[in-house]
Structures are given as structure tokens and as C-alpha cells.
Structure 1
Amino acid sequence: MCRIYGHLGGDLAHHHLRAVSALQRHGGPDARFSAAGDGWALGNNRLAIMDLDGGEQPYRLGRDIKVVFNGEIYNHTELRRDLHAAGYVFHDHCDGNVIPALYHRYGLDFVDHLDGMYAIAVLDLRAEPKLVLATDDAGMKPLYYHENGHELYFSSELPALLSVPGVPWDLWEEGLDSYLTTKTPFGERTMFDGVRVLPRAATAVYTRAGGLKISKRAESAFPAEDGGDLAAAGARVRETLRAETHRLALADVPISTITSGGLDSSLVTALLAEKVPHVHAFNIAYTGDWPFDEKRYAREVAARSGATYHQIEADPATFPGLLDEVVWHLGQPNADPITLSTYLLFQGVHDAGFKVTLSGDAADEIFGGYGRIRDALLGTEDWPNGYVEALAAVPSALRQRLYTDDYRELLRQKGTEAERIERRLRADGGDRLAAITGFEVDERLPAYHLRRVDHLSMAHSVEVRLPFCQRSVTRLARRLPAEHRVRGREVKRALYAGARGLVPDSVLDRPKQPFTLPITAMLVPGQPLHGYARDLLSGPSLALGGQLDPKAVAGLFDAQAARPNDESALAIWSLLIHRIWTEQLARGGAGERRAA
């Protein structure tokens, strides 16, 4: 696992490369490598997981093929064996060292042979210099880039990329609306107009003569299979997930698991405990008495699995002081309060001495676990509107009240994110579940979940592995008959069936609840978070961007004080996160402070 960076075209000074590396050192503190030549550079910061004494990057084949790589290749042993039989020589057993030979043998199709999570950069100097970038099927490892026709720069994290001279900081004008509509920018967009993120399952080729060409790798269709009855479908899900969870237990360092107390992480914990005796399980809760406390269920799961249980207790009084750090690591706003919980959770994993942990992320997307999916399937012909409203940090009517007249007019002219998503959902045909799952997997999962997990875990030098993102699990889920995923008010039916007997009934039979921060209770007068938010979201400086009406923002606090509710609390939280981010930009970026 690493942080990677580099460029083709342009001329980046050595001290600028060192600054990019320094800004990502938290994600790879074990070693730093780089190489540079005429108009190119590659570098990485290493978090040693496999072959602790090897792993020097860039990996090379001869003088002309060089590779930097972030992630894990789970089938590297099989690939190395086959490549060795074909005459290739390897000098260590690190998983990434197979990539140069694989590229040399198969060209751009090399990614078709990889099983894992990855962001890869291949520099090919054999003819016209060529930079090849690739991401895994799910988009587990992000790769940000800026390309201007003459040069391309890339890195694993936004603050590092923005430290490169010439990478523009111009903001995407519609970004605020996009953020409040979906909690973070979806697709390839970022909050910066000149910076994009490579989509999932993508291979990009850049040359100075031809520019950048991005292609999404072909994906097999997902026709519904005859899954048999629900019990048979559950058994298939259980065995497929078991095989992948056991495969993901391979590492040269100790492995742990996240156990929130919900179905998905509980099932991963139970299956991992079969492979890793006395595995360590981590849960986060908050000091005091708050809603959505799941630690009782997490303890039951750990006890049943024989796991060593770690309870991380976070003090809400410290939250205002942590938000600047959380927002900086994300690089752009994410309105889900879970970001703060996630940051503290992985800090606890790191402090306990673990570099690797498994989580249950992505189960809801592929098995149909969200209430918004259930409601869309039960809804009228106007279901896309309700579905998009359920994604929002701030409902559409409230967004309109918060915006200035000028910003509302700009959005009227350019269109909104809500309109774009609705068009996509309607264009995907009459199969609602297929349309929703495609959108969730293509856009929301990588942007909203996987980048958050990646950035906030690697902030503490922790690698997260995701069994539900493995190709075999995802394909099985998407090919199940619709009624084995969602039927009426029941969601994730096959997954629940597969977990029966492995996960305590108390977890399976309780209502689904969010793994998040209880901000409605925390954003009331007298609580530290409330005072901090009110101070930051008041005053004339709030109007400087010309997008938000300060009086309307003040009205949110009045409403929350009079009658605390989820809508006003999440709106305040979302604006607070955006405000912290814009202040970091106004200060010149936290990146400059950290690189100094």
C-alpha cells in the first residue's frame, strides 16, 4: 500500500517533488522512493504490508518501463509464477513487482489479469513517452489528476496535487450545489474546476502529442440468474464472501476488522475470525449518552466470533478541534458526519498497532440495503426525484432558500446536479433496481464511501480491505433475482439469509440504523459543536462568495435551537464542513503549512 504521484510533460523541480511526497507521507511512512528524467517523474510513499524488506518503487522492467502502484494485488503469487515461466525475473515477492512484466506482456490489457484494489501509473519510454493510469473495478484507490494539453500531473491525494505549481485552484462554480445535493461531488468531478479523479474501472493513456484518452473497461452484463430459493441464494452469498474474506487475510503484518454492530461488518468479522484466530475487532462510540449507540451489538459479534474487542471512545468536546484535520485529509468537503467518526476509528486502529483492517463497506450498494432504494422501487413514476432527494445533505427547497438570487440564476442557466442524476436514472431503462445499482456503484460508492475510507484510514497509515468490493461478490449480488435483494419493505434479503447462524440474531433482527455521528443531539445550544458552528457560520465573510444568504443560514440555527431536527442539523453540519474547507483555501491551503 502506498501513496503515488508523478507527471509527464512539464518540468517539476526536485523540491516540488519532495513537497508532494511530504504531503502524502502519512499514507506511506515506511519508505520514500522517486525517479525522474527529462519531462517526467514518478514517486511513492510506502506503507509496508507485503514483503516488508522489498517493495522499492518505481518497479522497473529494463530502462524503459517504470511503475508506481498503490493498493494490493491479491493474485500476485499466481501471476508471478506464470510470468516467471514465460521468462520474466523478479527480485522480491512484493505484490506490485509483477506489474511491469504484466504490462510488457499484455499491453493495456494488463489490468484484465489483476485481482485487487489499485491505482497504477505506468511510464513507458520505449517510443514516444506514454503515461498509463489505471484504477480497479470498484474505485477503491483514488487517483487525482490535472491535464492541460501539455502536461499531466497525478497523485493519490488532492492536497498533494494542489501543491504542484501550475495546478489551478479555481473552484467549480456549481460545486456548492453539487455538494449539498449529494454530500460530496460524484463522478469524475472535484470541487476544483481543473482537477478530476479517474473513474472506477478506467484505463487512461496520456502522451504529449495525443493528450489524454480515458476508457472505461468493458463490464459484463448482469442478467438475473435463477438463484433458487432464498436459502440457496443466501448460501451462495455466504460461501462467496467467505472465500474472498479469507483471501484478503493475506499479509505480512497483523490483520484486524471493523465491527460497527450492523449486519455487513458483523458478517465480515465472523468470516475473518474463521481464518485469523483471535482477530482484533474495533468499534467506535462517544462518551456520554447518545442516539445510535451500537457498541452492545458490536460486543456480541466479537464475543460470538472469538475476536478481541477494542472499544474506542471519542469525546464530543474534542470534535471542533479535529474538524480542520479531517477536512484537510479529505481534500474536499464530504457532508456525512461519519467522516469524523471514521477518522477517530482508524486512529484507534493505528494506535493499537495495526496496519490492515477489513470493513463491510459496499454491501448496501450491491445488495440493495438503503431505504432510498426500497422506497424508489415502491414509488410512483416520479421515483427518481424522491431518490435524489434522499441523497441530499440539504433538501432542494431548503437549498433554494439558502442560495442568493445570483447563485440560483447561475444554476438555472447551467443546470443542477439533481437534474443530471435524474436524467441518468430515467435513461437507464425500465429496470429500476438495475438503474439504481448502476448509479450507486458507478458514482456514489467510489466518491462518497471509498475515497472517504481511503483518505481517512491512510491518514493514520492504515490499509482497509473491502470484501464486498471483490469482483466475485459484486457480480453475484448484481445477478441475483431482484426479489432476493429487495422485496417490499425487506432489503438485502440474500445477505441476511447468508448471515443467519454466523451473526447474532440480535444484530439480524434489529432495525437498520446509520453508523454515524449523532449531530442532531450534538448541534444544540450548550454543546461544543453548536457554539463552534455558530461562530464559523456567522459574520459578513459568509457572504463573500456570493452563493449563500447569511440571513437564511442564521435561520437554520434559530430553527435548530427552537426544535432540534435532522434536517436543520445536517444542513448546519454541511455548511460548517464547507466553510472549514473554504477557509483552508483562503489561508493558502493546509498543504503548504504541512509541507514546510
Structure 2
Amino acid sequence: MCGVFGIIGHYSPHKAREALKTLQHRGRDYCGVVEQNTLFLAHQRLSITDVHPRSHQPMRRDKLLISFNGEIYNHARLREQLTGLKWETSSDTEVVLAAYERWGIRCVEYLEGMFAFALIDGDKCYLVRDRFGKKPLFYHQSNEAFVFGSEIKAIKPFLSSVYMNDEALHSYLSFLAPTPPHTFYKGIEKLESGEWLCAEQGKITKHRYYNLLDTPDSSITGNSDALYRIEEELHRAIAVRLDTEVPIAALLSGGLDSAMICAIAARQGKKLPVFTLGYNEYDAYDERKNAAMTAKYLGLDHTEVIISQNDFDEHLDELLTHMDEPLNDPAALPLYLLMKKIGAEGYKVVLSGEGSDELFLGYRQYFEYLDIEKAASLHHKNWLKKYFHSHFSMNREWEWYKRIFDDTLLFRTSGDKFTDLQQNKLFRRNVRDNESLRFLESYRRMFEQSAHEHPSVWYSMIDLKLFVGEHFLTKLDRVSMAHTIEARTPFLDHILAETVLSVDPSLRIGNGGTKPLLKQIARNYLSDEIITRKKKGFANPYMEWLIASGRIELIREVNDKTGLFYPEEIDNYIDMARRGKFKQHVWGLYVLSHWIKRELL
């Protein structure tokens, strides 16, 4: 796990090296640089696979050069396929180069794992991002050069000036994070998950090489077959991620997903040390008791990390600056501090449960949406349509029914936050109803052109693409790599995901309870008490702390200077947050205000 940085074109060596320093935290084991006339390629290395200096990067193989971030879990099997070659390392990076020599850029289709890399082949520079977007890549094209890197902070020095990208702002408010290719910095874009880019002589071309919906629809129709296939793939996905030369730990909440990872790892003979977050005086958010019971049941070494108001005050600015751009996830700071503790204990790799809820239908609202979808078939709904249009409400249920009666798309990710109508009331400019649908158009087209028709498949697909890929995984990458830790996500193994989406939707839905398939498998590993616990996730007292610290006033302060939003609407949201409503809306406005003050004012 590492930091990638490069420049194709004219550059200042001093400026390039200063930009590279901003990525030191992504890999403190080694820094490699290749400097040529019109090429600067660099690598900050976190040594995981083949920790020997022979595997330092950038790595060269004949005329090819690569800076690779990630893990290829099938690299040993690929070596067997790539017969007749002389190997100089036991690293997965060398395998990527050899695979490219054999198959060209189509080599990405053979890679299993998480990865983002830059590969130089003569005048061509390929940037590649893995299937689910676990690892990031950003880029900037100017008249002088093509600049790319693992984080925005390394590219920002090459902008002539900083301007906010309005498309990023709108998609952020709508879906918690900017949608690809947008970032908040006009002129800097991000590669999409499952996509590669080729930059050659100032021209950029892109290609989507992976689509989860290419899986067959309902090819697994029997419940016992589904359980067997999924359990088998879970074991494989976890086993390959446990295969490492460095110390490895796991995150443990009180819920099912992290418990399943630890339980299967234990069944495979590896009892992982686990880490849990807790909050004194906030029992509603605290999962330590439940996590401790799970750890005891599995016989795991368990460490509790307590987060306080003082921690919030001390580290929030540091965290938000590190994130580069606004991301509306209140769990980012607690997870950042948890990773700090894990890193201090000497661990280089940690397992995390992202993706399970989206694959196995773990959110209660999925089933609410499925129920509301049925209202679209009502024959006499015109009067309901008129009623909803004349009785506006900020509550999300009002918006859901309005969409159904308007015959427009109901589900727009689990991160659907500020609706277009809410944005229209908030902004000092007009935002048309359904304006945000343009950010989903290409994904909806992929779904409609696929063999899949059931709404639940759309829910999983768009959530994995945006809610997980651009929201949760962005958070996980930044907070783990801030402390030079590689985070691995077994549920986001693409073969496992394809298996789950090949199951008949009726089996994934079951009787309407969350995660029916995963819970049935879990009975082989965990107690009923652990399996049936109410989900909390990474809930935390962020709004209580934001209010107590007085930081919430930053929203008004920045808005007074920018005039971006109507002051009375800002007041309304803040007042509701003090009463425990629309808390994540307000957190999103705070994070946005923090970035605007830091970068634009």
C-alpha cells in the first residue's frame, strides 16, 4: 500500500519533489524517484508483499515503468500462468508488469485485489483504478504537463489558482461525496472505479473495463446452493487477505459484518487482534459491550479505544485538512483516531467490513424502498401526486412518495442526503427538481442495459459504485493511510460480489429482514445473540460535540462571507440539528464550510 505520484511533460524537479513530500504518510518504508527529461515518476512505499529492497518502486521491466499502490491477491497464480519468464522479485508489482507485457492493458481483467497504478509504456501513461475503487487516483491536465497522484494534495500545487467545482458541490450535497470524475478543485479529476485512462501526447482516453452487472441474473436459484457458494467465496476472500508477511489486525464493532470476518479468520486458524471504538457518557453510540462479547465468544485479544470531546476538538482540523476535500461522513474522525491507535501498536494491515450491507441488503431502508416501489403501479394516483406537490415536507418519506407519483427514479443511493428541492430552498440560485439525476445517468443506463431488472440489484449496484466507492472507501483510504496502514475489505472481493448478485433476488430479500443470506451462514460461526443484534455501525456523538465546541457557528461565518446559501435556511438547519434532526445535513455543511474557509477565503 503506497503513494503514487507522477508528471508527464515539463516540470520543475524541486516543485515535483516538494509535491511528493505531501504523500510521505502513505508509505514511510521507502521513497523512490525516477527523473527524466519529461517524466517524473515517484513512489512512497509501505512494504507489505516482498518487503525486500529488490521490490522498491518505481519498478522497471525492460521498457516498462510502474508505480503501483495496492495488493494483487492472485499474484502467485498469475506467476504460474506467465510461464517462461525470469523473475527478480516475489512481489505482486513485478507480476503486474509481466501481465502487461503478455496481455497489454487487458491485464487488469486478470488482477484480483485492490489497486491503483501508473504504468509508463513509451509515450503512453496508463492510470488504472480497481473494480470497486478501494484505491484512489487523481489527475490534472495542463498545457505543460499531465500530473497524477494518490491524493489531491500532491496535485494542487500545479493548479494556477484554486476554484471550486460547482458540479462537485452539487453532487456532494446530493450524495455525500463528489461523483466521478469531479473533485472540489476545478481542474483536478478522479479516476472512476473499474476504469483505466491513457494519456498520450496531451490526449486523454478512458475505458470502463469492469461492470458488476455483467453477472448473470438469477443463475443461483436454490437457497442451499446460494449459501454454499457464498460461504465458499467468503472463506477464499478472507484467506487471501490474511496472507501477509506483516502484523495484521481487524476492526470489531458490535455488529455482524466484522464479527463474521473475525469468526471465519479464526476458523482458518488466525485469531486476529481486534480494535473497537467507544464513547464515555454516550451509551446510545457505544458498542464496546457488544464488541467485547463477540471478542470473548471468538477468543480474541480485544483493545478498546475511547474517544472524547477533547479528542474531537484536538484532531478535527487535522483530519479535515488531511481529507483534502469535503466528505460528509461523521465517522471519519473516530475512525481516524482508531487507526492512529492501531498504527501505534505496530500493525500494518487491518481488515474492515465495508460492502456487506450493500451486497446482503443490510439497511432497513432497502426494504422500505421496495415497498414504496409498489405504489408506482397504483391506477388512481393523480390526486396523490397533486397532494404531495401542494404539501411540501423536508422529511425524506415525503420525497420518496413524491418521486413515485412523479414517475421518476426512487432510489438514488443510501447516501441520498440533500434533495434537489431542499437544495433549491437552501441555495441562492435555482436548483431544478431532479437536477441531481444527471450524476446517476450513466449508472442507470448500465443497469437498464444489463440482464438485471429487480430494484434490489439497482440498490446494491449504485450503492457499491457511489455510497461505498466514493464515500466509505474514500474515508477508509484516507484515515488508514494517514497512519501508514493498509485496510483490506473482504466483502468487496469482486468474485464474492458477483456470486451474491447472481443469486435470485427473492433469496437475497428473504422474508424482509436485513441480511437473510449472511445471517443464515453466520449460524455456523456465531451465537444467535451476536447475529440478531440491532445495527449501530460507526454512530458517534459528532453533533453533540460540534455544538458543545461552538464550531457549528463556522457555517454561519462562512456563509456570511460567501452568500452561497439563504441565511434563514442555514439558521433553520442548525436549529433542527440542535433538536437532533437533520444532523448529517448540518455536518455536511460544516465540512463544506471548513474547506471553503481553508481554500477560498
TM-score, normalised with respect to structure 2: 0.88
Show the counterpart of 2:231. 238
- CA offsets 1:4-26 (integer angstroms, 9 cap, x no match): 010222x2212222122211111
Show the counterpart of 1:74. 73
- CA offsets 1:15-72 (integer angstroms, 9 cap, x no match): 222122211111101110010212111111001112222321111112x210110001
Show the counterpart of 2:597. 583
Superposed displacement of residue 309, structure 1 = 0.4
Which residue type is aligned with residue 442 of structure 1?
K
CA distance in 2, matches of 1:103, 1:395: 44
CA distance in 2, matches of 1:389, 1:224: 22
Show the counterpart of 2:383. none
CA distance in 1, matches of 2:445, 2:12: 49
Tell whether the 8 Å contact from 2:252 to 2:291 is kept in structure 1 after alignment. yes
CA separation of 1:226 and 1:251: change in aligned 2, threshold 3 A: closer
CA separation of 1:237 and 1:246: change in aligned 2, threshold 3 A: same
For the pair 1:548 / 2:565, whether they are aligned, the reply is: yes
Tell whether the 8 Å contact from 1:340 to 1:517 is kept in structure 2 after alignment. no
CA separation of 1:292 and 1:235: change in aligned 2, threshold 3 A: farther
SS of residue in 1 equivalent to 2:556: coil
496, 507, 513: which is aligned to 1:473? Answer: 496
Which residue type is aligned with residue 209 of structure 2?
R
Structure 2 counterparts to residues 267-282 of structure 1, below 5 A: 267-282=260-275
CA separation of 1:106 and 1:520: change in aligned 2, threshold 3 A: same
SS of residue in 2 equivalent to 1:387: coil
Superposed displacement of residue 93, structure 1 = 1.5
Superposed displacement of residue 386, structure 1 = 4.8
Superposed displacement of residue 320, structure 1 = 2.7
Show the counterpart of 2:411. 387
509, 514, 517: which is aligned to 1:486? Answer: 509
Show the counterpart of 1:417. 436
Show the counterpart of 2:552. 533
Superposed displacement of residue 110, structure 1 = 1.5
Superposed displacement of residue 477, structure 1 = 0.9
- C-alpha RMSD of the superposition: 2.3
Identity in percent: 25
Which residue type is aligned with residue 37 of structure 2?
D
Query: How many residue pairs end up in the alignment?
Result: 563
Show the counterpart of 1:342. 335
CA distance in 1, matches of 2:413, 2:272: 40
Task: Name structure 2 gaps, 5 residues minimum.
Answer: 377-402
Which residue type is aligned with residue 60 of structure 1?
R
- CA offsets 1:152-185 (integer angstroms, 9 cap, x no match): 211001111112x246532112433322211111
504, 507, 520: which is aligned to 1:497? Answer: 520
CA distance in 2, matches of 1:491, 1:225: 22
Tell whether the 8 Å contact from 2:168 to 2:179 is kept in structure 1 after alignment. no
Tell whether the 8 Å contact from 2:215 to 2:501 is kept in structure 1 after alignment. no
Superposed displacement of residue 218, structure 1 = 4.7
CA distance in 2, matches of 1:77, 1:389: 37
For the pair 1:217 / 2:209, whether they are aligned, the reply is: yes
- CA offsets 1:380-420 (integer angstroms, 9 cap, x no match): 3345655338533445554333322xx2x2x349x732564
TM-score, normalised with respect to structure 1: 0.89
Task: Name structure 1 gaps, 5 residues minimum.
Answer: 588-596
CA separation of 1:156 and 1:283: change in aligned 2, threshold 3 A: same
- CA offsets 1:81-109 (integer angstroms, 9 cap, x no match): 443x32x3222222212222221121111
Superposed displacement of residue 253, structure 1 = 0.7
436, 440, 443: which is aligned to 2:466? Answer: 443
Which residue type is aligned with residue 244 of structure 2?
A
CA separation of 1:139 and 1:422: change in aligned 2, threshold 3 A: closer
CA distance in 2, matches of 1:427, 1:360: 26
For the pair 1:432 / 2:455, whether they are aligned, the reply is: yes
Superposed displacement of residue 427, structure 1 = 8.1
Structure 2 counterparts to residues 76-155 of structure 1, below 5 A: 76-83=75-82, 85-86=83-84, 88-125=85-122, 129-148=123-142, 151-155=145-149
SS of residue in 1 equivalent to 2:495: helix
Superposed displacement of residue 520, structure 1 = 4.7
Tell whether the 8 Å contact from 2:360 to 2:508 is kept in structure 1 after alignment. yes
CA separation of 1:422 and 1:300: change in aligned 2, threshold 3 A: farther
Structure 2 counterparts to residues 305-324 of structure 1, below 5 A: 305-324=298-317
Show the counterpart of 1:156. 150
For the pair 1:519 / 2:534, whether they are aligned, the reply is: no
CA distance in 1, matches of 2:509, 2:543: 30
Tell whether the 8 Å contact from 1:187 to 1:442 is kept in structure 2 after alignment. no
SS of residue in 2 equivalent to 1:565: coil
Superposed displacement of residue 455, structure 1 = 1.0
SS of residue in 2 equivalent to 1:388: coil
Show the counterpart of 1:367. 360
Tell whether the 8 Å contact from 2:64 to 2:97 is kept in structure 1 after alignment. yes
